[in-house]
Amino acid sequence: MAIDGYHAFCALPVDLARVHRRAFYLGGGYKYAMAGEGAAYLAVPPGCGLRPVDTGWFASFDTLSGKPGEKVPYAADAFRFWGATFDPTGVYRLNAAMDWLASTGTTIAGVHRHSVGLQKRFLDGLVRIGMKELAPADLVPPAEVARGNFLAFDVDDAEDRYRRITAQNVIIDRRDRRLRFGFGVYHDEHDVRLLLEALSRALK
């Protein structure tokens, strides 16, 4: 099986010890790992001999000097899932971000606690200022359910609310009816206060 760990990477503690021998695990560093584009990964189960249907010439990099055969030659290890020539800039950014987190003693569990704390401060602030346009009752999943490092509100007129919010220089995601607010290690309580002020201007 394949597990998409994108929203967990550098956001939630993950333990794959029980399934790592039979699961592919993939994700990327674009969001919480602060790496930008081009720093994705795929963990391949040990001993897996599956051949990819589509791949790039990097997958056969180790076999370029060999004789052509009846099948497309792939590397025997996880390199057979590689694509083509890539820009390594995202990997350099990822390394820099990971070095920074390590230098501060930050753990992924700590990152998640920090995010959950900011989420609570944000939700409490919405109630305090009487923000009916973004109510905790609109959360998907509900507020009491464990979640990742973002909050999604299912609301009417999401497109119009998104336009008004982003006009306040607030960057959020919109997925149809859902407005998503992310909270990362690079945010603090001051950012939450500024966000609440911006939402008051945009929606009230």
What's 112's domain CATH number?
Answer: 3.90.1150.10
Taking alpha carbons only, the member of 162, 163, 150, 165 closest to residue 197 is 165
| Last residue of one domain, picked from the residues 103, 135, 161 | 103
pLDDT score, position 76 = 77
Q: Residue 85 has which token pair?
A: 């020539």
Residues 131 and 184 in one domain: yes
Let me know whether 97 and 122 are in one domain. no
Could you report the per-residue pLDDT of 10-65, keeping only the tens digit for each?
A: 999 999 999 999 999 999 998 889 998 889 899 999 988 888 887 777 777 666 66
N-terminal to C-terminal alpha carbon distance within the chain = 46
Q: How confident is the model at residue 69 (pLDDT cuts 50, 70, 90)?
A: low
Residue 123 pLDDT: 96
Say how far apart CA 166 and CA 172 lie, in whole Å. 7
| Domain endpoint, select from 87, 103, 119 | 103
Q: What is the pTM of this model?
A: 0.83
Number of domains in the chain: 2
Mark whether 7 and 83 lie in a shared domain. Answer: yes
Q: Quote the pLDDT of residue 106.
A: 95
Q: What is the pLDDT of residues 128-172, one digit of tens each?
A: 999 999 998 999 999 888 888 999 999 999 999 999 999 999 999
Buried b (16+ CB within 10 A) or exposed e, 110-125: ebbebbeebbebbbeb
Q: What is the pLDDT of residues 100-116, one digit of tens each?
A: 999 999 999 999 999 99
- Which residues pair with residue 179 across a beta bridge? 153, 174
Higher pLDDT, residue 23 or 71: 23
Same-domain check for residues 198 and 113: yes
Q: What is the mean pLDDT of residues 79-86?
A: 81
Domain assignment of residue 36, given as a range: 2-103
Q: What is the pLDDT, as a whole number, of residue 160?
A: 96
- Out of 49, 77, 103, a domain closes at 103
